[in-house]
């Protein structure tokens, strides 16, 4: 679906975001089968895999990274992640938290991102807790927050992720409080419905209860 002009949500087991300007930026690549969903969506909007310039991975969990190897091969895009997460995605280090051993194909990270860095016209925010190097992306121009698994909307509104999948539940909640300080309207999360408006207020209300 096209949530906003130039902002597409590709529904796999975990949502992926596709930002369309003069070039394409893909955020996350889904679970097993996610690459097929992404490539199929590109075909429907009459774009080619090679139109993707950058793939940004929010964190190393298999439902966000398992499609990466195929999308990388088809697109030739550069791959970016937070520097803390890079060795888990490339499998140079074993991931220490839930859901356990990583089994995705290893892919080296081309671009290491840091907190408060601007990249692809978005602000990179280190939002740890779900994983050590989880990141979120704030597109100030579109008033759009791409939160990965820094939160979820599976119950129809914003909430924290299930702590069975958070490596540090306390840090996870602190990350939500940080995101609540932003002025945004639209929200895309890994799990749950995307929203086009009104989500900054909802995030602030959640943060006040944590």
> Tokens 């698994």 label which residue?
149
pLDDT at position 22 is 82
Pairs from 37-41 (Cβ < 8 Å, separation ≥ 24): 37/10, 37/11, 37/12, 37/67, 38/10, 38/12, 38/67, 38/71, 39/70, 39/71, 39/74, 41/8, 41/10
pLDDT at position 49 is 97
pLDDT > 70: percent of the chain: 100
Q: CA 175, CA 165: separation in Å to the nearest integer? A: 15
What is the domain count for the chain?
1
Tokens of 173: 């909640």
pLDDT band at residue 60, thresholds of 50, 70 and 90?
Answer: very high
pLDDT at position 85 is 98
What is the average pLDDT across 11-29?
A: 94
What's the domain range around 19?
2-209
Peptide bond into 61 cis (omega under 30): no
pLDDT band at residue 13, thresholds of 50, 70 and 90?
Answer: confident
Residue 106, classed as helix, strand or coil, is coil
- What would the pLDDT profile of 173-197 be if each residue is shown by its tens digit? 999 999 999 999 999 999 999 999 9
Q: CA 116, CA 114: separation in Å to the nearest integer? A: 6
pLDDT at position 71 is 97
Is residue 81 scored above 90 in pLDDT? yes
Is residue 148 scored above 90 in pLDDT? yes
What is the average pLDDT across 16-29?
A: 95
pLDDT band at residue 21, thresholds of 50, 70 and 90?
Answer: confident
pLDDT band at residue 6, thresholds of 50, 70 and 90?
Answer: very high
The pTM (predicted TM-score) of the whole model is 0.97
Q: Is the model more confident about 21 or about 93? A: 93
Of 209, 188, 190, 187, the C-alpha closest to 131 is 190
CATH number of residue 153's parent domain: 3.60.15.10
């Amino acid at each position: 679906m096209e949530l906003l002009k130039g902002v597409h949500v590709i529904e796999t087991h975990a949502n992926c975001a596709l930002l369309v300007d003069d070039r394409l930026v893909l955020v996350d690549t889904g679970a097993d089968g996610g690459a097929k969903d992404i490539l199929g969506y590109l075909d429907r909007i009459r774009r080619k895999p090679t139109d993707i310039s950058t793939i940004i991975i929010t964190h190393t969990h298999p439902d966000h990274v398992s499609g990466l190897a195929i999308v990388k091969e088809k697109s030739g895009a550069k791959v970016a992640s937070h520097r803390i997460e890079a060795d888990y995605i490339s499998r140079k280090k074993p991931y220490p938290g839930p859901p356990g051993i990583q089994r995705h194909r290893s892919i080296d990270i081309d671009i290491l991102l840091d907190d408060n860095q601007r990249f692809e016209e978005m602000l990179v925010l280190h939002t740890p807790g779900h994983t050590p190097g989880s990141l979120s992306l704030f597109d100030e121009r579109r008033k759009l927050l791409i939160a990965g698994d820094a939160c979820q909307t599976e119950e129809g509104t914003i909430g924290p992720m299930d702590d069975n999948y958070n490596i540090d539940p306390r840090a996870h909640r602190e990350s939500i409080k940080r995101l609540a300080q932003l002025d945004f309207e639209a929200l895309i999360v890994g799990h749950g419905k995307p929203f086009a408006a009104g989500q900054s207020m909802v995030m602030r209300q959640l943060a006040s209860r944590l």
